[in-house]
Amino acid sequence: MRNWAGNLLYSARGLVRPTSLDELADVLDTPGPVRALGSRHSFNDLADTPGVHVQVDRLDDGRPAVDLDAATGVVSVNAAIRYGDLSRALQLQGRALGNLASLPHITVAGAVATATHGSGDANPSLASAVVGLEIMTTGGELRRITRDGDPELFGGTVVSLGALGIVTRVELATEPSFSVRQDVALDVPWETVLDRFDDVTGAAYSVSLFTGWDEPAVRQVWFKSVVEDADDGGTRPDPVPDLRWATSEVHPLPGVDAAACTPQLGAPGPWNERLSHFRLEFTPSAGAELQSEYLVPRHRAVEAIEAVRALAPRVAPLLQTSEIRTVAADELWMSPFGDPAVGLHFTWRPDGPGVAGVLPDLEEPLLALGARPHWGKLFALDPAEAGALYARFGDFRALAERFDPDGRLHGGYLGRLLG
């Protein structure tokens, strides 16, 4: 079995999909390595194990897969539900999540465990919406950890990298549903972007910039603006003068049909049909690709962008597209967003050796600026050095030993990280 991109053949000897908590406990009672598996959207071996993979997509714990508490606005969901399916269910009940990632195809548990994110100056990662988790440890104990009830543990249990057990349910804060319009500006000069970076990224609820790095202008800037009254359609953002607006829908990848993308051209619609870049019913992004991402402190963003532009002759030939996004800070131990950050995301051509060859050169200037790699993407940084980037890494390792004293979850990259 391979990961989503097809670049990694898992070493697991089997896959189990328990249908009840008792079945899951029986799986965990069997000796040997074990590891949760979600939508397989990690591009490295973070989710790998030499033992048994466990998916909880068929798990029935006696509760609805989407269980909304109308009084508190907290929704409890099966950990394996995809964001696209969850967002549709919430919209039908008049509720929303604060943000979504580019792809609605990823599972909730996998996304929050790796600090996956969307964009927006005021929008933290998807993990920040978590208020509670139910985790079955390798000892077969089902534990519920909540933000209010377990403040001393909670910060280490959300972005857990799968190190604590098999997450069966996730509890998320929701808010009233809202409408969004999406407008795309084309060929915005680099000088404008760098001189007015805060103006550009702050002009809408969520902003994404797409580039190939070797071009004289940023190819596309996607502005996702909250519309207070969907009937009047809202207004297009105006962060800098003389922007050229797309008059037909575009795809982030040059020359690719935009049918897979969420509606643009300023047409307002529900949050769940605009905040992601791609529609749930289509193959996400290009399919055949590799990905890397580095999260740089917000105050070093312009320096980081200039550093990558200087490497354009090395980077561009391997690239399909690159996305720049902003993310607000959170307080989760293993989240790369301890401070406001800017994500530099690279969607590579499926050239493993070529990408592996350029990553060390790309990381050198970015790490010097305080960058942290996305846990689920490709990067060259040594695991010991990656752990050292986090002030609470020692606490996280101790928490992992407490939940999994025999290290049965230590497969792939996680095993190398925890040592």
- Digit-coded pLDDT (tens) for 120-169: 999 999 999 999 999 999 999 999 999 999 999 999 999 999 999 999 99
- The one-letter code for the residue type at 99 is N
As given in the structure block, the two tokens for residue 163 are 């190190």
Distance CA 7, CA 350 (A): 8
Distance CA 372, CA 298 (A): 12
Q: Mean of the pLDDT values across residues 294-309? A: 98
State the pTM of this model: 0.96
Predicted confidence band of residue 284 (pLDDT cuts 50, 70, 90): low
Distance CA 269, CA 266 (A): 9
Query: Pick from 108, 111, 96: which is nearest to 179 by CA?
Result: 96
Distance CA 205, CA 220 (A): 17
Residue 101 pLDDT > 80: yes
Share of the chain above pLDDT 90, in %: 93
In total, the chain counts a number of residues equal to: 419
For residue 70, how far is the Cα from the chain centroid?
27
- Digit-coded pLDDT (tens) for 28-71: 999 999 999 999 999 999 999 999 999 999 999 999 999 999 99
Distance CA 42, CA 21 (A): 26
- Digit-coded pLDDT (tens) for 189-226: 999 999 999 999 999 999 999 999 999 999 999 999 99
Predicted confidence band of residue 286 (pLDDT cuts 50, 70, 90): low
Residue 325 pLDDT > 70: yes
As given in the structure block, the two tokens for residue 194 are 């760098």
Could you give the angle at which helices 301-310 and 352-368 cross, rounded to 10 degrees?
140
Instruction: Name the helix (H) or strand (E) containing 307.
Output: helix 301-310
Domain edges within the chain? 66-176, 179-373
Distance CA 180, CA 186 (A): 20
Pick the CATH number of 179-373 from 3.30.70.2520, 2.60.40.420, 3.30.70.600, 3.40.50.300: 3.30.70.2520
Q: What is the dihedral of CA 76, 80, 82, 85, to 10 degrees?
A: -60
Query: Pick from 322, 324, 320: which is nearest to 289 by CA?
Result: 320
Asked, colleague to colleague, whether 66-176 and 179-373 share their fold, the answer is no
Mean pLDDT of the chain: 96
Query: What sign does the dihedral 401-406-408-411 (CA atoms) show?
Result: positive
Distance CA 387, CA 235 (A): 44
Distance CA 330, CA 323 (A): 21
Long-range contacts for 9-12 (Cβ within 8 Å, ≥24 apart)?
Answer: 10/45, 10/47, 10/48, 10/49, 10/53, 11/48, 11/49, 11/50, 11/411, 11/412, 12/37, 12/48, 12/49, 12/50, 12/51, 12/52, 12/53, 12/411
Predicted confidence band of residue 288 (pLDDT cuts 50, 70, 90): confident
Beta partners for 185? 221, 245
- Digit-coded pLDDT (tens) for 369-384: 999 999 999 999 999 9
As given in the structure block, the two tokens for residue 379 are 């990067």
Residue 398 pLDDT > 90: yes
Q: Which CATH class is domain 66-176?
A: alpha beta
Residue 5 pLDDT > 90: no
As given in the structure block, the two tokens for residue 122 are 């005021």
Residue 287 pLDDT > 80: no
Residue 230 pLDDT > 80: no
String of DSSP letters for 322-364:
EEEEEE-----TT-S-SS-EEEEEEEE-S-HHHHHHHHHHHHH
Quick one: pLDDT at residue 329?
Answer: 98
As given in the structure block, the two tokens for residue 221 are 């800037």
- The SS3 assignment for 45 reads coil
**Burial, 70: exposed, middle or buried (Cβ in 10 Å; 0-12, 13-18, 19+)?**
exposed
How many of the other CB atoms lie within 10 Å of CB of 61?
17
**Burial, 148: exposed, middle or buried (Cβ in 10 Å; 0-12, 13-18, 19+)?**
exposed
Of 367 and 287, which is predicted with more confidence? Answer: 367
Residue 285 pLDDT > 60: no
CA-to-CA separations, 13 to 28, 49, 52, in angstroms, rounded: 15, 8, 6
